[in-house]
Amino acid sequence: MSAVDRPAGPDGTSRRPPGRKKAGSTPRKKRSAERLARGQRDISVSEFFVKNRHLLGFDSPARALLTTVKEAVDNALDACEEAGILPTLLVEIEQRSEDRYVVALQDNGPGIVVGQVPKIFGKLLYGSKFHALKQSRGQQGIGISAAGMYGQITTGKPVRITSRTKPEHPAHYLEVIINTKKNAPEVIRDTEVDWEEPHGTRVEIELQGNYKSGKHSVDEYLEQTALANPHAEIFYYPPKGRKDVVYPRLTDELPAEPARIKPHPYGVELGILMKMLKDSKARHITTALREDFSRVTPKVADEICKVAGLSPKARPTTIANREAESLFKAIQKVKIRNPSTDCIVPIGEELIRKGLEREIENASFYSVRTRPPRVYRGNPFQVEVGLAYGGQLTGLLDHGDITDGGAWVGGVRLNPTKKVEMALTAISGITRKKAVALLLKAGIDRATKTGMLTPHQVGLLRDVLDAEVRSETATRSIQLVRLANRVPLQYQQSACAIHKAVCEVNWRRYQVSQPRGGLPQGPLVLVVHIASVWVPFTSESKEAIAHYSEIIDEIKRCVMDCGRELGSYLSRRKRHKAQAERRSKFDLYCGELVEALHDLTGRRRAELKKILDSAADHYAEVSDEV
Amino acid sequence: MATKRELAALRKHKSQQTLRKLTDLAEKVVAQAQRLENPSVEIPVRALSNVRFNKKKQIIEMGDRTQSRTLFNVNMAKRFAQTFLVAKACKELLDAGKTTSIRDLYYMTKHTIGRTSENTFDDQAESDPIIEDLEVAVDTLREELHLFASNRGSMVGELTLVDAGDTIDARRQGSGGWAVPSIVEDEVIQFKKCDAKFVLLVEKDAVWRRLNEDKFWRKHKCILIQSQGQPARGVRRLVRRMTDELNLPLYVLVDNDPWGLYIYSVIKQGSINLAYESVRMAVPKARFLGLSSYDRERYDLPDDSTIMLNSKDVSRAKQMMKYPWFAERKWQRELKKMLDSKVKLEIEALSRKGITFISEEYLPRKIEERDWLV
């Protein structure tokens, strides 16, 4: 490896490759991505990579691990869906040394033809979806090969691929490295191997990383991916010391394949418009408008030309800059029908609910809502919201069995050789200080070897942990799960339109506490999914959705639909609680009264009880003030 | 005088009337519940806002304002049930022909409710007002419910009486005197031979002992009663009966402070809380003998025998000046003088003039000079 290939420290600078302009509004990003794609071949790919690792999601070892899994999973899901196969994914993370991990991702997809393997896994920016206006997971071809390159830079190890396309064909095992100077893949090994899978692909990347749990973790990402892809089945084998997780398939139906649509004139920016005119094969401008855009009828095309002061017969390719600009302005002035919205495939209310019910068993309330599709700037999009409240969310960690190997507490196997105060810190959110405080509360000597804890002590420990979590959730911000085209968004939450919309909703109206202008608080999980042919991200790392008012308003409406249901559930619960309290109080004193009235009137106790009971029923429901 | 049999018959009749009132109250509750109405008990309000001073009769009377105590109201359910627990206990007493103390009744009705840790009554302070509520709600008297308070007050003097069949000679009661029972109705107490010319009620036990030791009552032919502060019902009812039936004037000797004056006021025209009892307890003609705010000057008492009024005394005096039954000029003057001089005077202060000053000088002179207020 040359010096350049070695990973530099955190990049920090925001230098961009030549030819890239600062990303402003969305469609321009598209242009810059194209230029990037074309221009990038001339410079050292690894230099580009090192300088832009933060944009690509490799800026820290922990994030690098997550990004690698993410790219591999996205790839696998896309491959399966395109082939019409219900995805079954195996995600394995194995720790090799302190900071070295092997990520293995295996799918049951169509497999890859041997000749294509190096290109897919060893070449940056291969394969292009730039022109497709179609709801897709939307990677820009930078993903899996970038992960492979990151692995190669940090560990020197090749990407290892096993793939088989048909049961009757042999499986191939390949090791691919990227020649960073040429941005070209080199296959350093290619053998036929025995493989039990009839078809599918397995990718293994060794990389420098850091596994952690909690926020921004692989665990969280896979959980949310399972939620967003109820048709997928995911087996997750985390590093040693964590429990294996299986996400079963919730539906045997693949989501409908989203239709490709032509761009709508409203959603096209000037630069794109000029490029499209230049590339057009039509002879007349009106024809070009009609053929390359959706919803442009001959009448609309004529009107656009008229408003722009252009001849309908003008040649698209010869329209100069200034004319293109007046054409662009004319488009905004002419009324054009919204694009068809059947190109959007939502997850659907039923499956979001099922996913939530699986992820958050025993919540006390669920609400889901899929709004009808809408359009922003000519781009159809659709918002869905799922909400789970209370029950399990109010606390209670996931505990496992106590075995010879140790005890599972809070989803973690406590290391039996460590002191309990240290072992507890393996649970996310538990610091050493907190662990000491909790042990004091449980009445357990903090220096006890974890292996020496009695089952009773483990029980006490679980109780104090649960109580801790319970009290903490009441004042903790809700868990917001952001999904864009079935991909969970992990970072930059507060920069995201979804976050902004959720904060702008007045949650107190729904009996949920909320600090001014912030996320609501309490035992609540809120899932927001935006499906669109073009999700406007704020940057290439695709972690936050841009603040378009149409999108924010629609998210708010959808969140409020669910919020209203939650509010009426909570006030109903409050009312019932008050009613039950009132009733039990009445019962208490009616019992005394029955005795007294029995003595005073000589009537039978049962008779008096019946009379008072029915009156109590009546009055428990009406308020005291009446 | 009624015979024993007649008295027994009277008692039985009275208790049956009371029983009837209690069962009627209970039946009303059952009927209301059956109609899905919120069972309620109307309780006359026992507060300053619901009493009026009857100038003609010179007594404090209860107004018409009542408060509904309803069962199906979380704030009232407990007190509603408590009211009937007391009613139930009273019925037991009436059925058995027994009387008991209100402390005893507290224990009769006190138990934990259901499987909770809640008590029907936490302390006697909780059950006592409920008893008063029941009294006014069914328009009956505590004695008629066969309840009494602990005895308070004692008596000596020129009178022979019968207490529950036993003849008591109040002239031969030693240094302690005859303890005035809580119930002094005519079926319990009958007056026999009376040689007294007046009744003297003193607020304080110590002063009463001095007068008894000096045999003041023998010398001046009177009946001497002490109330130990605010007089209990028994004492009030007894002095009322003595003024009515024996036709004796009643003199009252209290401390010269707002509390002393108010003791006199209660004897004279009744109290706010027991306004419904005024009719048979108040003695409008009771004479306020002292100590008056003017006595210090008139009897030349040394300045250092006084005590400074504290802030509570001052505010109580000011409050009393606003009561209609203190509206007369003479009472306003008394209170004003007290406030102006900023001091109060206890009866014992008279001892500064000599240990028998009170019995040999002060009282005889007061009565002789008719130096009292009514």
In whole angstroms, give the CA distance from residue A388 to residue A364. 8
Which chain A residues are within 8 Å of B39, Cβ to Cβ? 615
Contact at 8 Å (CB) between A521 and A393? no
| Mean local confidence (pLDDT), B74-90 | 89
Token pair recorded at residue B338: 């007290």
Which pLDDT tens digit goes with each residue over A283-334?
Answer: 898 998 888 888 899 999 999 999 988 888 888 888 877 788 889 999 989 9
Q: Cα angle vertex A539, ends A535, A545, to 5°?
A: 40
- Surface of A (594-623) touching B: CB under 8 A: 595-597, 599-601, 603, 608, 611-612, 614-616, 618-620
B19 touches chain A (CB under 8 A): no
Best mutation target among A579, A583, A589 (most B Cβ atoms within 10 Å) is A589
User: In chain A, what is the straight-line distance between the N-terminal and C-terminal CA atoms, in Å?
Assistant: 84
* B107 labelled catalytic: yes
| Mean local confidence (pLDDT), A435-460 | 85
Token pair recorded at residue A304: 């656009």
Decide if pLDDT at A222 tops 70: yes
Average pLDDT, chain B: 88
B23 touches chain A (CB under 8 A): yes
Name the amino acid, one letter, at A228.
A
In whole angstroms, give the CA distance from residue A530 to residue A344. 10
Confidence bin at A534 (pLDDT 50/70/90): confident
With an 8 Å Cβ cutoff, are A599 and B91 in contact? Answer: yes
Residue A497 host element (H or E): helix A497-504
Confidence bin at A438 (pLDDT 50/70/90): confident
Token pair 């810190």 is at which residue? A425
If phi > 0 it is left, if psi is from -120 to 50 it is alpha, else beta; for residue B342 that is left
Nearest CA in chain A to B22: A600
B88 touches chain A (CB under 8 A): yes
B154-368 CATH: 3.40.1360.10
Decide if pLDDT at B50 tops 50: yes
Which pLDDT tens digit goes with each residue over B240-286?
Answer: 999 999 999 999 999 999 999 999 999 999 988 888 888 889 999 99
**The predicted structure's pLDDT at residue A123:** 62
Nearest to A601 among B30, B74, B118 (CB): B30
Among B336, B343, B301, CA closest to B317? B336
With an 8 Å Cβ cutoff, are A588 and B118 in contact? Answer: yes
Q: Which residue has the higher pLDDT, B143 or A3?
A: B143
If phi > 0 it is left, if psi is from -120 to 50 it is alpha, else beta; for residue A192 that is beta
Token pair recorded at residue A170: 């042999």
Beta bridge partner(s), residue B155: B178, B225
In whole angstroms, give the CA distance from residue B233 to residue B148. 9
In whole angstroms, give the CA distance from residue B193 to residue B150. 27
Decide if pLDDT at A24 tops 60: no
**The predicted structure's pLDDT at residue A237:** 95
User: A582-616 in b/e burial notation, b at 16+ Cβ within 10 A?
Assistant: bbebbbbbbebbbbbbbbbbebeeeebbebbbebb
**The predicted structure's pLDDT at residue A401:** 65
ipTM: 0.76
Among A419, A437, A418, A435, CA closest to A427? A435
Decide if pLDDT at A67 tops 60: yes
Whether a cis peptide bond, with omega within 30° of 0, leads into B291 is yes
Decide if pLDDT at B34 tops 60: yes
**The predicted structure's pLDDT at residue B83:** 92
B91 touches chain A (CB under 8 A): yes
Map residue A113 onto helix, strand or coil.
coil
In whole angstroms, give the CA distance from residue A80 to residue B308. 99
Q: How many CB atoms lie within 10 A of CB B242?
A: 26
B121 touches chain A (CB under 8 A): no
DSSP letter at A128 equals: -
Domain spanning A265-333, CATH architecture: Orthogonal Bundle (1.10)
| Mean local confidence (pLDDT), A478-505 | 92
Q: Cα angle vertex B70, ends B67, B75, to 5°?
A: 95
Portion of chain A with pLDDT greater than 90, in percent: 32
| Mean local confidence (pLDDT), B349-371 | 88
Nearest to B114 among A591, A599, A614 (CB): A591
With an 8 Å Cβ cutoff, are A611 and B34 in contact? Answer: yes
CA distances from A285 to A311, A325, A453 (A): 8, 14, 80
The residues spanned by each domain of chain B are 4-38+73-148, 154-368
Q: Hey, what CATH topology would domain B4-38+73-148 get?
A: Arc Repressor Mutant, subunit A (1.10.10)
CA quadruple A28, A385, A482, A219: dihedral sign: negative
With an 8 Å Cβ cutoff, are B39 and A591 in contact? Answer: no
Q: Rounded to 5 degrees, what are φ and ψ at A309?
A: 70, 35
DSSP letter at B246 equals: S
Q: Which residue has the higher pLDDT, A115 or A520?
A: A520
| Mean local confidence (pLDDT), A15-34 | 47
In whole angstroms, give the CA distance from residue B223 to residue B202. 11
A580 touches chain B (CB under 8 A): no
In whole angstroms, give the CA distance from residue A437 to residue A420. 12
Q: How many CB atoms lie within 10 A of CB A622?
A: 12
With an 8 Å Cβ cutoff, are A615 and B38 in contact? Answer: yes
Contact at 8 Å (CB) between B99 and B183? yes
In whole angstroms, give the CA distance from residue A583 to residue A617. 7
Which chain A residues are within 8 Å of B113, Cβ to Cβ? 588-589, 591-592
Confidence bin at A403 (pLDDT 50/70/90): low
Nearest to B26 among A586, A597, A620 (CB): A597
A3-209+233-239 CATH: 3.30.565.10
Could you tell me where the DSSP H helices lie in A321-418? 321-333, 349-359
Nearest CA in chain B to A578: B74
Decide if pLDDT at A587 tops 60: yes
Q: How many CB pairs under 8 A join A and B?
A: 86
Nearest CA in chain A to B71: A586
Which chain B residues are within 8 Å of A616, Cβ to Cβ? 72
Decide if pLDDT at A26 tops 50: no
Query: Mind telling me how many Å the CA of A594 is from chain B's nearest CA?
Result: 9
A592 touches chain B (CB under 8 A): yes
Among B212, B241, B240, CA closest to B224? B212
B45 touches chain A (CB under 8 A): no
In whole angstroms, give the CA distance from residue B139 to residue A29. 91
Which pLDDT tens digit goes with each residue over A330-389?
Answer: 998 998 888 887 788 899 999 999 999 988 877 889 999 999 888 888 788 999 999 998
How does DSSP assign A32-66, residue by residue? HHHHHHHHGGGS-HHHHHHHHHHHHT-SSHHHHHH
Beta bridge partner(s), residue A200: A164
With an 8 Å Cβ cutoff, are A618 and B36 in contact? Answer: yes
Which pLDDT tens digit goes with each residue over B113-167?
Answer: 877 778 888 888 888 889 888 988 888 888 888 888 777 899 999 999 998 889 9
Residue among B106, B107, B323, B362 flagged as catalytic? B107
With an 8 Å Cβ cutoff, are A600 and B91 in contact? Answer: yes
Contact at 8 Å (CB) between A418 and A450? yes
